[in-house]
Amino acid sequence: MNRRSYHQYCATARALDVVGERWTLLLVRELLTGPKRFGDLQANLPGMGTGLLAARLRFLQDAGVVGPVTLPPPARTAAYALTEAGAELEPVVMALAGWGMRWAYGERDEGETFRPGWAVLGMQARFDPAAAADVSAVYEFRVDDDVFHVRVHHGTIESVHGPAQHPDVVVETTGDVFADLAAGRLSAAEAVRAGGTTVTGDRQAARRLRSMFPVPRG
């Protein structure tokens, strides 16, 4: 892929030369929750053609943002992961997600694709470290056929694709409900009362969800 440039000797312009192309930061978003196979990336980036995805991955590898890895057993398949440089883009993506949650998220439009992992990162963007200063818990979210977990430890947070080994709280729900939970339009308690959602595990840890992920004001 030909590398386009702003031709400006400026740190911001140089950064945008690498990650400013369409789809690039969304590709980084997908890898923030762990390594992904090519097929996983393609499935989670509907509308991005196979050729464009392959080209963008090659470009990001050349730029030192993404690197090839082999998934551990039992998968043992080739995948892609963020390098140290790529991982340092996390606060950039989180800042964009936080701004989007506050000013651009709104209601879901007809025909818009939704993936639970996107909502998990949206929750992470809403995370209030001060409210979680005394919390150490693992929250697992089982949304339709997808599973994610979030580790909260004394004001820090990490989102990971896949089940947790020993979750303190397990939330099982549908994609539509989870989108509202992640946006702060619905609390876990309200979702349970409405039916179709279950919350099991440590009740005290479950009750802390609302305060740790406050509703964005816009």
**Confidence band for 106, pLDDT divided at 50, 70 and 90:** confident
pLDDT, residue 13, reads 96
Level-2 CATH architecture, domain 11-88: Orthogonal Bundle (1.10)
The CATH fold assigned to 115-212 is Nonspecific Lipid-transfer Protein; Chain A (3.30.1050)
pLDDT tens profile 49-87: 999 999 999 999 999 999 999 998 887 899 999 999 999
Q: Where are the domains of the chain?
A: 11-88, 115-212
| pLDDT above 60 for 2 | no
Rounded to an integer, what distance in angstroms lies between the CA atom of residue 174 and that of residue 142? 8
Length of the chain: 218
**Tokens 């697992």 found at:** 140
